[in-house]
Amino acid sequence: MINKNSPIPIYYQLGEQIKALIEKGELKPGDALPPEREFAEKYQISRMTVRQAFTKLVNEGYLYRMQGKGTFVAERKIEQLLQGVTSFSEDMKARGLEPSSELIRFEMHPSAAPIAEQLSIDESDPVYEIERIRLADGVPMALETSYLPVKLVKGLTEQIVNQSIYSYIEEELHLKIDSATQVIESSIASQKDANLLKINIGAPVMLIQQNSYLKDGTPVELVKSVYRADRYKFMVHMKR
């Protein structure tokens, strides 16, 4: 029900009602919402008010619009707390999702100067370059390119890459991954990103660079990732 005498704006009340239907599962991802006109007639409110409610929910990630087709319920975003060093697989399992990867490229080659600098190795020292699509419950979430120094992460194989690199480093090589830094930027999807992540060219994405270090400060991995902004969000917990 919409209470027109309430101090709470009507568009906000309508948005909360739609949000409740989504959270209860009565409106499911991919479901089309009725046109603005139908909401306006049902509640005896203006179409502008309905549009405000829709826009609010689009901005919050509950809905998305397709030009000429209407407004639809969006897939809920996966939330990652930026606290502690975890792998993609660990993050997904913690949320009850099944992680998987599609390996695009696994090769060993001399390092270029920018990569060597990030890994604190000499230019032309060999590195592994691993390009993967990271999926959760079969849905592409990120395009990830990893660089690891061969002299430190010895014996890495395609089979290991298809399982867990972090587990191999810590359990087989007995190296302790201790810390990491992340830099997050906003961008838009290139044609390659769009093709591999099954999104539109120009769709919003997050570019994330993570540098991971062993306990003694030795760089062990450089990862450059493109995350779908429509399916992923990051949360930071801070104290004063």
Counting Cβ atoms within 10 Å, is residue 157 exposed (0-12), middle (13-18) or buried (19+)? exposed
> Does 127 map to a domain?
yes
Tell me whether strands 78-81 and 232-235 are parallel, antiparallel or unpaired. Answer: parallel
CATH code (residue 41): 1.10.10.10
How many domains is the chain partitioned into structurally? 2
Distance of alpha carbon 152 from alpha carbon 148, whole angstroms: 8
Shared domain for 114 and 210, answered yes or no, is: yes
Q: Which strands, in side-by-side order, build the sheet including 139-149? A: 99-110, 126-136, 139-149, 219-228, 204-214, 177-188
> Does 240 map to a domain?
no
> Does 3 map to a domain?
no
Domain that holds residue 54: 10-73
Given a contact cutoff of 8 angstroms between Cβ atoms, the answer to whether 136 and 92 are in contact is yes
Shared domain for 151 and 171, answered yes or no, is: yes
Q: 73, 88, 112 — which closes off a domain?
A: 73
Shared domain for 144 and 225, answered yes or no, is: yes
**pLDDT confidence of residue 237:** 66
Terminus-to-terminus CA distance in the chain, angstroms? 40
In 3D space, the residue among 138, 45, 142, 51 whose CA is nearest the CA of residue 99 turns out to be: 138
> Does 1 map to a domain?
no
Given a contact cutoff of 8 angstroms between Cβ atoms, the answer to whether 176 and 213 are in contact is no
Q: What pTM does this model have?
A: 0.68
Given a contact cutoff of 8 angstroms between Cβ atoms, the answer to whether 173 and 154 are in contact is yes
Q: What is the pLDDT along the chain (240 residues), one digit of tens a residue?
A: 788 888 899 999 899 999 888 888 888 888 899 899 998 998 899 999 999 999 888 877 788 888 888 898 887 766 655 555 666 766 667 667 787 889 999 999 999 999 999 999 999 999 999 999 998 888 898 999 999 999 999 999 999 998 889 889 999 999 999 998 989 898 999 999 999 998 889 988 999 999 999 989 999 999 999 998 887 777 766 677
* 117 Cβ contact partners less than 8 Å away, ≥ 6 residues apart: none
Shared domain for 127 and 49, answered yes or no, is: no
> Does 5 map to a domain?
no
> Does 173 map to a domain?
yes
Shared domain for 26 and 145, answered yes or no, is: no
Distance of alpha carbon 166 from alpha carbon 198, whole angstroms: 27
Distance of alpha carbon 37 from alpha carbon 61, whole angstroms: 22
**pLDDT confidence of residue 229:** 85
3-state secondary structure the chain: CCCCCCCCCHHHHHHHHHHHHHHCCCCCCCCECCCHHHHHHHHCCCHHHHHHHHHHHHHCCCEEEECCCEEEECCCCEEEECCCCCCHHHHHHHCCCCEEEEEEEEEEEECCHHHHHHHCCCCCCEEEEEEEEEEECCEEEEEEEEEEECCCCCCCCHHHHCCCHHHHHHHHCCCCEEEEEEEEEEEECCHHHHHHHCCCCCCEEEEEEEEEEECCCCEEEEEEEEEECCCEEEECCCCC
